[in-house]
Structure 1
Amino acid sequence: MKKEEKIKWNTYHTKNIKSKYLYRYVSIEKLISFLNTGSLYFARMDSFEDNLEGIIPYDIVELFANYDDLPSLEERNPEISKEIWKDIENHRAGKLTKLQESLLNRQKERFVSCWFLSDAESIAMWDLYATDGFLIRFDRQYLQNLVKLRKDLQEKIPQDSNDLLVAGRVRYQNFNEVHLDEEGKLIRYSGFRKHVAFKHEAEYRFILHKKKNDSNGIFYSLGDINELKFDLFANPRMKSFTLSTYNDIIKKYNSKFQLKESELKPWLHFKETTF
């Protein structure tokens, strides 16, 4: 009899992807953690900067319907009593509070590893997430297959038959127009919906749906770090001496891996380069 899988697997929005790489922009602390553990860190969704992570179309409609300010006292219809206006205010506040609670509960059941999907580094992403930091680069298909193969071997993650791991691209929407976006309403997994304001992140995610877990994050083992295939790059603005110093630090943790110069560095330093 075939052994039942404890963590189910699926992909979302992965067809016709032309970009080859997944990039993760990290600090030195996160880089060392990765080299030490050979694990991806899945952060709980409620810890993200975006308050609307995991939102569904119904919630978006409710948000816009109840969030706008009511007319000022001078603009209100005088034929409607103060008591009725107060009831309207309380009703709207109750709707928004319920929305906050349901969204937070949904976020607490989703753990995410975020990556930048591209064929090249991004200056914007360097500046946002790794000003003095580093870059981990994987081949997308290689990493996705690796995550899938390792899903039933996570000894440190309590597993449940309802657990679901999904990999795929984020869809970016203008929430002001989501009620008109028929295709956008059909996004199967809410964790792959984000506001168009975040489109510059070109995000590719691994999302673990897990109801029975109280931790703030999960370390997902990829196996023996010495057997993994990836590249490490330093910030393109990092001086060569600093890069050499960090390389010495990295070698103390793992002598196999070499920190490389950013592929953007020649262009950022072209004017002051002597030929």
Structure 2
Amino acid sequence: MSFTPLRSVKATGALSVSHTGVRVSAITDHPCFNQPKNQEARLWRYMDFTKFVSLLSSESLFFCRADLFKDPFEGSYSKANVALRPHVYKDIPGEQLEKMTTQMADFSKWIRGWTYINCWHANEYESAAMWDLYAKTNEAVAIETNYLKLKDALPENVYLGLVNYIDYDSEWLPEGNSFYPFTHKRKSFEHEKEVRAVIQELPNAEKGIAVGKENQLFGSDVKVDLNSLIETVHISPTAPKWFAELVSNVASRYELSAPINQSMLYSEPVY
């Protein structure tokens, strides 16, 4: 089995343009990244006010290092992989297989620090659960877009696709490419309906990749055209009036053209 990471890529501060001058977009034809049937599927990103201001001021989407995510299983393989490898690779002598799997495990742990991820929630409707999970206070917003707009907003060194949810106790997680562990998560997270934008920026050495080198960055900022990306800004359904006015004023200051609406999720019911 060949376990070779993909080419080293780098997030730059400018929008990517091909040598012909044509704007290029995120990569969606890679075998590790499944695509939605509907290319205009609705996407949401829930955040507190501080992150919203950072988004506007930097004109960038923040890609967090995978090893800094809360989920300790991020970038790992399943228990089924460990159990099934002797059968899957039965033609490889035992001692050689043991050495190979040890090297693969070490590499997989290390590459988590050089993999950057930006997450979105795919849903046709606003999610009460996502407000509770990712907006810790009522001073929060959600930005709404669609899959195609996100793809077109991102540069060509970003890979984009759906997260696959599997049982890590019983299901095989594909091997042979360093992206696979980052396009799979445990079924316990299936409610997130996650779309992921991923960058792997591997440090170079004189002869190949500097395996073992530690990353000093927390993540990577990727420049995007916010007015092309964001369709609507939704304000938390429980936010006070003054906060809604603040969001509108800040968005105006940064010349964001998207409409700003307060969520009606908890409006008065009728009987």
TM-score, normalisation: structure 2: 0.68
**Count of aligned residue pairs for this structure pair:** 221
**Match for 1:42: what amino acid?**
F
Structure 2 counterpart of 1:114, from 119, 122, 138: 119
Matched, 1:185 2:183: no
Partner of 2:93: none
For residues 254-273 of structure 1, the aligned pairs below 5 Å read 254=255, 256-264=257-265, 268-271=266-269
Partner of 1:23: 44
Q: 1:213-233 CA deviation, whole Å, 9 max, x = no partner?
A: 83221110114x455542111
For residues 215-254 of structure 1, the aligned pairs below 5 Å read 215-223=217-225, 225-226=226-227, 228-254=229-255
Matched, 1:204 2:195: yes
Q: CA deviation at 1:17?
A: 3.5
Q: 1:162-184 CA deviation, whole Å, 9 max, x = no partner?
A: xx5310000001111114xxxx5
Structure 1 CA distance for aligned equivalents of residues 132 and 40 of structure 2: 21
Q: CA deviation at 1:138?
A: 1.0
Matched, 1:42 2:63: yes
Change (3 A) 1:36 1:63: farther
Structure 2 CA distance for aligned equivalents of residues 197 and 16 of structure 1: 23
Q: Indicate the SS of the match to 1:167.
A: strand
**Match for 1:171: what amino acid?**
N
Partner of 2:88: none
Partner of 2:129: 124
Matched, 1:103 2:108: yes
Cα pair 2:231 2:259 within 8 Å, conserved: no
Matched, 1:195 2:186: yes
**Match for 1:269: what amino acid?**
S
Structure 1 CA distance for aligned equivalents of residues 259 and 222 of structure 2: 23
Cα pair 2:153 2:228 within 8 Å, conserved: no
Cα pair 1:187 1:193 within 8 Å, conserved: no
Cα pair 1:19 1:117 within 8 Å, conserved: no
Q: CA deviation at 1:99?
A: 8.1
Q: Indicate the SS of the match to 1:185.
A: coil
Cα pair 2:35 2:161 within 8 Å, conserved: yes
Q: CA deviation at 1:201?
A: 0.6
Structure holding more helix per residue: 1
For residues 132-151 of structure 1, the aligned pairs below 5 Å read 132=138, 133-147=140-154, 150-151=155-156
Which 5+ residue runs of structure 1 have no aligned equivalent? 66-95, 152-163
Q: CA deviation at 1:102?
A: 3.7
For residues 26-105 of structure 1, the aligned pairs below 5 Å read 26-57=47-78, 61-62=81-82, 101-105=106-110
For residues 134-173 of structure 1, the aligned pairs below 5 Å read 134-147=141-154, 150-151=155-156, 165-173=158-166
- Percent sequence identity is 21
Cα pair 1:32 1:253 within 8 Å, conserved: no
Which 5+ residue runs of structure 2 have no aligned equivalent? 1-17, 86-100, 205-214
Structure 1 CA distance for aligned equivalents of residues 37 and 125 of structure 2: 18
Cα RMSD, aligned residues only: 3.6
**Match for 2:145: what amino acid?**
F
Partner of 1:176: 169
Q: Indicate the SS of the match to 2:126.
A: coil
